Structure 1
Amino acid sequence: MVDGHGKGEDVAAETAGTAQIGGALARLRRATGLPVAFGGLVEPGRHRMRISEFSGAATLALSGLAVTSGNGLGGKAVALARPYAVTDYSRSRRISHEYDAAVAEEGLRSVLAVPVVVRRRVRGVLYGALRTAQPLGDRTLNAAVEVARDVEQALVAGDEARELLTAARPGPGHGAERERVREAHAALRALAPRIADPALRAELLDACGLLTPADETHPGPGGPAPVLAPRELDVLACVAAGATNAATAERLGLRTETVKGYLRSAMRRLGAHTRGEAVATARRAGLLP
């Protein structure tokens, strides 16, 4: 049985995945020069993907098409978790031909399919196509693979963010609950700078804010609450979760001396003389959970 939280998380993951697939199609067309791109997600718990997103399509022939693993070009990419391309779809002997009618109605000839693989599981497929039969070279295929890799990184980041937020949900035991929240907050702050997509990065930082209740924000002793630079807050969040300077540096991809510099700067802004005092002041100010 799946609880309400689980269903909500599945819907959120699917919505985010669909958005990532849709957003990647224009990038795929720019990167490859192909006039048509489309794709979709593998349906959870099923051995098939459904084509739902399009860029440059002239008809609705492929809309909603369910592609079974192993069948056609996309199904082969799903089954083997590898990119494939055919020069003339309807005549290719490398694939099965369950979907020829829909492909022909859209007028597609040369087609490539690149799987989006996250944690060894195919989550979706990106297609690019020409309306003429001509070879799609390695440069075109490699460019499409790079776009798929970007989608994979975005989905990984989204999965990690949802897992961290789930771990931070209130549970029995106030102390244990607080530590989960603090660790999730630090991990989300460490994850955000790795995200190339500015919208997704902003979404992760907003999620960090959800872990710091607004009603815990208080002015500092001399007036308004102190303001920390993003990297200062990243470092202080790791310190608050119990990380050493070396561990913080590894987590954030920084040098240890750089971490120390950010920590000193944060302490000055907070009027603190020790790491512990800085963390306590930041918590009182509502900057950390």
Structure 2
Amino acid sequence: MTSPEAVFLGLLQGATEFLPVSSSGHLLLAEHFLGLAGGGLAFDVMLHLGTLAAVLLYFRREWWHMAEALVPGRGATGDRRLLALLVLATIPGGVFGYLLDDLAATTLRSPWVVAATLAGVGALFLAAEGVARRDRTLAALDWRDAAVIGLAQALAIVPGVSRSGITMTAALFLGFRRAEAARFSFLLSAPIIAGAGLHEGHKLLNGTAGPGPEVLWGTLAAFVAGYAVISWLLAYLARHTFHPFAYYRIVLAGVVAALLLWGSAA
């Protein structure tokens, strides 16, 4: 893999990790249709670190307040409560990710699966936009909400679902404002991204792969794209709907299906 390819994959990973369009789905499609294979396990680990750095840096005040709330006699009750809810919402995704890791890496790695999940979650987005009341803030988040969003996040083990997309959709159905749904989804991404990086990093320490010179460029690209997308999307959702992302997913699903059918008929 060349450095330009590494930068392209880093930008793709960083942007689609936080946009509700599926990073795993886009990377799989890039591999299938463009022949852009990843840079191995070391590259995957570093891309995760790039996106993790983006979400930690952007929400540095929130993370600091939550860490401070762990110290007896310091911090606000709300920050301590938010941290507890993030832990609760992380559990289903961590469990399912651990149990179904092999299935996700083999059977579910199919462009047809990606096409189906892109369209399916796109339709859910449109449904949530149509029926949700969207008047709740994170201050109203409770244990039931965290459990529902956490269970939704577990579905992201399937390529094309999108971790951010499915958690934002669940939050919309629960009545949260769009920007608040995105904010909780982004905060929730940190432990999952860190867990994925540690899981792959453990394999890396066992000697299954080694880093190449292009790794730094891909990591930097993932960080820059991730940070920019978080900042832009939170501002965008304060005034706009999720409709463009839903339509994009559905149109892309149609294009992928058409290309696959054309390829099988050729």
Counting strand residues as a fraction of each chain, which structure ranks higher? Answer: 1
Normalising to structure 1: TM-score of the pair? 0.27
Larger Rg: 1
Compare relative contact order (CA 8 Å, sep 6+) and give the higher one, 1 or 2. Answer: 2
Q: TM-score, normalised on structure 2?
A: 0.29
